[in-house]
Amino acid sequence: MNLLKMPIESRQDLGLIRREIAKMTKEAGYSPLVQVQICTAVAEVVRNVLLYAGKGGITARMRRDKFVVEVWDKGKGIPLETLAELENGTYKSKTGLGKGINGTKNLMDRVRILTSPSGTQLFMEKALNA
Ligand SMILES: Nc1ncnc2c1ncn2[C@@H]1O[C@H](COP(=O)(O)OP(=O)(O)OP(=O)(O)O)[C@@H](O)[C@H]1O
Ligand SMILES: [Mg+2]
């Protein structure tokens, strides 16, 4: 598959997305370690959509030599204070379950967050290095 485009509405979707991303990154030639890194990074933001916005959507594809993912929702957005803490690395997760957005940032090459009271978009990419 060269384009994944699907809604995020339930825990089952999280499982489906993990499986599709694993397949796509394997096919693209990422190492097993990087396949897991990308899956983990994407799962964190998909989990956030389910938790904080209820539903949303995802697109993922290889663009040239990069795996590019966009996750969006129309929830209330990330509070500005939280966003600032995420930016400077001082955010402390309430649940402590995953590594959250800071984990996603560590695992991907680039993460861009656009958030407002009417929704959130996260763009992330990981290059396919030799
Ligand atoms: N899609 C979103 N919509 C609204 N708020 C969000 C969204 N994603 C994240 N947030 C807010 O940003 C905070 C930080 O998210 P992050 O994933 O880094 O940590 P967490 O969800 O609190 O904990 P963890 O992911 O480690 O279990 C969340 O607690 C939430 O308040
Ligand atoms: Mg989270």
* Domains in the chain, number: 1
- Write the pLDDT tens digit of every residue in 18-35: 999 999 999 999 999 999
Verdict on whether the full-model pTM lies above 0.75:
yes
Show the domain range for 63: 3-127
CATH number assigned to the domain comprising residue 92: 3.30.565.10
Quick one: average pLDDT of 75-96? 88
CA distances from 55 to 19, 27, 74, 81 (A): 19, 28, 8, 23
Average pLDDT, stretch 81-104? 84
User: What pLDDT shows up at residue 74?
Assistant: 98
Query: Tokens for 6?
Result: 């699907």
Which of 106, 13, 102, 92 has its CA nearest to residue 58? 13
The 10s digit of each residue's pLDDT in 37-50 is: 999 999 999 999 99
Pocket test for ligand 1, best of 47, 48, 80 (most atoms within 8 A of CB): 48
Mutate to test the pocket of ligand 1, among 14, 50, 52 (most ligand atoms within 8 A of CB): 52
